[in-house]
Structure 1
Amino acid sequence: MTQQTISPTQQLTLAQLDFWEEFRLHPGEAVSTVAHAIEFTGPTDPDALARAIGRTIAETDVLALRFDDGPDGPRQDLDLARRPALRLIDLSGHRQPREHAFAMMQADVAAPLDLAHQPLSAQWLLRLGPEHLIWFNRGHHIVLDGYAMGMIEARAARLYAFETGSGDPGQPLGRFAEYLAEEAGYRASSRHVADGRHWQAVLAACPPPRVLTKGSENYPAEDLSHEQSLEDLQADLLARSAEWGMGWPDLLTVLCAAWAALHLQDASAERRDDAGQIVMPVWLPYLSRMGSVAIGVPALVVNILPFRASLEPAEPLGPAVTRLCGELRKLRRHGRYRIEQIAADHGLGQSERFFFSPLINILPFDPANFPGCTTQRHVLSNGPGDGFNITIRADSAAGGMQLLLGADPTLTPPADFARHRRSLPQFLRGALRAGAANRAIASLLPRFETA
């Protein structure tokens, strides 16, 4: 099979260019590193696992990208010398091997990454004991989004199955060049023009989104954060999803957006409240892969889009959710149009970008299945957020649901954050109970919020 290359050098995509500028404006900072660790306990074939990870690395073009800053701006090309080799690390003789392993990985994540001169990825296989391994998979957002990280893990799992005699190797990962060519075609198409008109109309109807000067981000050393299980929501979430005829990730997205519009009133959000209607722009990551070659290409593809959360506090929950889900489907029809282009169309200069807060990210993805292995995935770094962030992770059947809230303490006072972390789970539980569809949506906020 002949490997495709990006020839001879290629401009960065709009999404990549934003991260390149972030790197240039925040020198010496570890800002947008992404890292996962998959922990294996119990019987595992370490040699087969190493071969599977090594073959996956060889298939992942973006791990071998090299960036150069020239007179015409940054360019990228494939440089096989940049492709990471799998580093085998034996910690089995350490007195506390697991604690030491996580300390090593966190130190790597926290170290600044020079995109111009250092390899973009680290791949380690750490041996902690006879039946205890950790695969550390670290990269940078300029080449990988969260879905791409999961794609790499799933590919390694498929190849591990093959190496251990449990299945066929399947199709290799797609080539980065294929995605670049498809994206160039889209940007030259009439569909791109029509999508641009749609987003101009959306932003004209919203309160003006907040704008940041690039480089002015003062990422706090310690974000406010809270994590808790929402596993008790699964049955009600699936029941209401079937009752209202929508996917459970969409239902959770619009419920979180409604909660934000009703509840967030600090400096993390822009809200307009007039004539009894509340309008708040919230920001939603958009996969941007369905119907595209990108569904099989590990790369930075995810988009981020504005969503106009509008409602009347007295409006019944059911009609409000149905209406907002309809708006969400419309968003996806135009979701390939890059947020960086939306910003330029809106009049933002090259040194400006939107302030992505509040941001709602629902992640309904199954973990990689390594046959015969017991695994646990640890998300060590997702990169920074701007203001208030809601992340909900679960498998495709809404099992194992976890809520993660994050906030910048300079925008969300700690006392407010303490209320937020109680209010959102209670609001979701109330909204998903049988019979809640006819209740006024504002009445579902916990009592301590409306007193």
Structure 2
Amino acid sequence: MPDLHGDQHDGWMPLTLAQLDFWEEFCFHSDKPISTVAHYVTIDGPADPAALAEAISRTIAEADALSLRFQELPDGSVRQRHDPGYAPRLAQFDLRDEPDPDGTAMARMRGDFEAVLDLRRDPLSAQWLFRTGEARWIWYNRGHHAVLDGYSMLLLEQRCARLYRHLTGKGPAGDPFLPFAHFIEEDRAYAKGSRFPKDRDYWAGYLSGELSFPVLQKGGEDYGIDGLTAFCALPEDFPQRMKSCAERLKTGWPDLLVLLAGAYLARRVPYSGAALPLWLPYMSRLGSAAAMIPSLAVNILPLLVDVPDTETLEDHVARLSGDLRRLRKHGRYRVEQLAADRGIGEGSRFFFSPLVNLLPFDPPEFDGCICERHVLSNGPADGFNITFRSGGDGGGMSLYLEADPTMTSATEFDRHCRDLPAFLSRALDPANATRAIVALLDEEPAPA
């Protein structure tokens, strides 16, 4: 693995393992905008325009990760530092006189996030504020996964909303973001500390069985293929039934969704080995400085899932809930390090499929306004992906499926879009907790 522990010099900092992974991806695909991350927030209501613009400006000034610049050295190593010339400045556009203000804003945003970002020379963040109506604004927030993860986008939104309340006399400003250098120092301290070998030993034991981990050769991906995507309808009462089921099974509702989706996949997608590696994004921020630092902190961890023929739903949840807790306890150990431990060298990585992602986050609140968050670009996805989005309490739950058409046919994808929501709904029925998962799956309609 690269040496991450060299001393900082003149503000230069090493890249983390996660950042190096995205740098390597960029080097293989420097002509494609594959890891741009872009959100926008619509703000409808009597917002204070000056306070809104000032809140965004202060937020992005605090987030010094947005001004990072990379430098590749003659020996091929890469370092990073803050460059004031790379810091984003808020650009404001009044589109109220346009025939289609929202359409114009969307076209400009799309033109930006679909453009190629050169990590060797381009600033990595753009911050725009469109006014598209007398009481409507759109805040566009674009970055790159080499410096930000999805949760960082939420941190930026929440901090901006807090500063807006302060600027409009509704509360204190709160604590600013911590410097990005604190994140780098914490990462280095972990790699040299006593927790690192304990986490390494845990993962070595957990992944020691007869397992097969597909590997992706970087540079061989075809990011030009349009994936299969679909939003799958869930019943209106799904969130309440989900929480009631989680309470009966003595687990949290986010874990319940992960385990139900994993059980479905373990019986419905092919894999070799003793268990299906189910990939789970892990925020890796609890108790960390990263909780107050926009950065690339998210990890991706494998949960090993198998469903014996006679295992009941309640027994399955009880068995794997413990694995989930232990996985998170040792979740600081990077997936890039896991790959290296298994002999996966540079130019390769784990193939993160299937993957289940939960995003239970409320949109930011700007007093007196109705706000909605929209994800424009979240980076590339591998294979087959399941995403649950909801508010913080599980309300407004949506189910989104993505699949690579070279691996999943349109017919198979349509079957998943039909069968997965049906299985989830059936699994929440109190009468089915003591039934075998296989039996619940077999009740679903036969493939068309």
Structure 2: which 5+ residue stretches go unaligned? 1-7
Match of 1:275 in 2: none
Q: Which deviations, in whole Å up to 9, do the C-alpha atoms of 1:160-191 show, x marking residues without a partner?
A: 11111111101101211111111111100121
Superposed displacement of residue 225, structure 1: 0.2
Match of 1:81 in 2: 85
Which segment drifts farther, 14-23 or 214-223? 214-223
Counterpart Cα distance in 2 of 1:82 and 1:63:
8
Amino acid at match of 2:69: R
Contact 2:419/2:444, CA 8 A, preserved across alignment: no
Which segment drifts farther, 215-224 or 285-294? 215-224
Aligned residue among 35, 40, 57 for 1:37: 40
Q: Secondary structure at the match of 2:275?
A: strand
1:387 corresponds to 2:383: yes
Do the aligned partners of residues 143 and 435 (structure 1) sit closer, same or farther apart at CA in structure 2, a change above 3 Å counting? same
Q: Which deviations, in whole Å up to 9, do the C-alpha atoms of 1:272-298 show, x marking residues without a partner?
A: 4xxxxx721110101101011111111
1:102 corresponds to 2:99: no
Counterpart Cα distance in 2 of 1:206 and 1:367:
43
Aligned residue among 208, 222, 243 for 1:238: 243
Match of 2:3 in 1: none
Do the aligned partners of residues 94 and 450 (structure 1) sit closer, same or farther apart at CA in structure 2, a change above 3 Å counting? closer
Q: Secondary structure at the match of 2:51?
A: helix
1:425 corresponds to 2:421: yes
Contact 1:41/1:374, CA 8 A, preserved across alignment: yes
Which segment drifts farther, 155-164 or 226-235? 226-235
Superposed displacement of residue 368, structure 1: 1.3
Counterpart Cα distance in 1 of 2:15 and 2:368:
41
Match of 1:399 in 2: 395
Q: Which deviations, in whole Å up to 9, do the C-alpha atoms of 1:42-101 show, x marking residues without a partner?
A: 211111100000000000010000001102411000111100000001111110111111
1:437 corresponds to 2:421: no
Which segment drifts farther, 182-191 or 151-160? 182-191
Q: Secondary structure at the match of 1:205?
A: coil
Counterpart Cα distance in 1 of 2:41 and 2:361:
15
Match of 1:252 in 2: 257
Q: Which deviations, in whole Å up to 9, do the C-alpha atoms of 1:16-55 show, x marking residues without a partner?
A: 0010111110021010111111011121111110000000
Q: CA RMSD in A?
A: 1.5
Structure 1: which 5+ residue stretches go unaligned? 273-277
Identity of aligned residues (%): 49
Superposed displacement of residue 314, structure 1: 2.1
Do the aligned partners of residues 332 and 425 (structure 1) sit closer, same or farther apart at CA in structure 2, a change above 3 Å counting? same
| TM-score (norm: length of structure 2) | 0.95
Contact 1:423/1:449, CA 8 A, preserved across alignment: no
Superposed displacement of residue 229, structure 1: 4.3
Match of 2:141 in 1: 137
1:184 corresponds to 2:188: yes
Match of 2:298 in 1: 302
Q: Which deviations, in whole Å up to 9, do the C-alpha atoms of 1:417-448 show, x marking residues without a partner?
A: 00011111111101111121111101222532
Match of 1:156 in 2: 160
Superposed displacement of residue 8, structure 1: 2.5
Amino acid at match of 2:435: R
Superposed displacement of residue 322, structure 1: 1.0
Q: Secondary structure at the match of 1:438?
A: coil
Q: Which deviations, in whole Å up to 9, do the C-alpha atoms of 1:241-263 show, x marking residues without a partner?
A: 11122111011111111111011
Superposed displacement of residue 450, structure 1: 8.1
Q: Which deviations, in whole Å up to 9, do the C-alpha atoms of 1:293-317 show, x marking residues without a partner?
A: 1111110000001110012132111
Aligned residue among 19, 25, 30 for 1:27: 30
Match of 1:213 in 2: 217
Contact 1:229/1:401, CA 8 A, preserved across alignment: no
Amino acid at match of 1:138: R
Contact 1:88/1:126, CA 8 A, preserved across alignment: yes
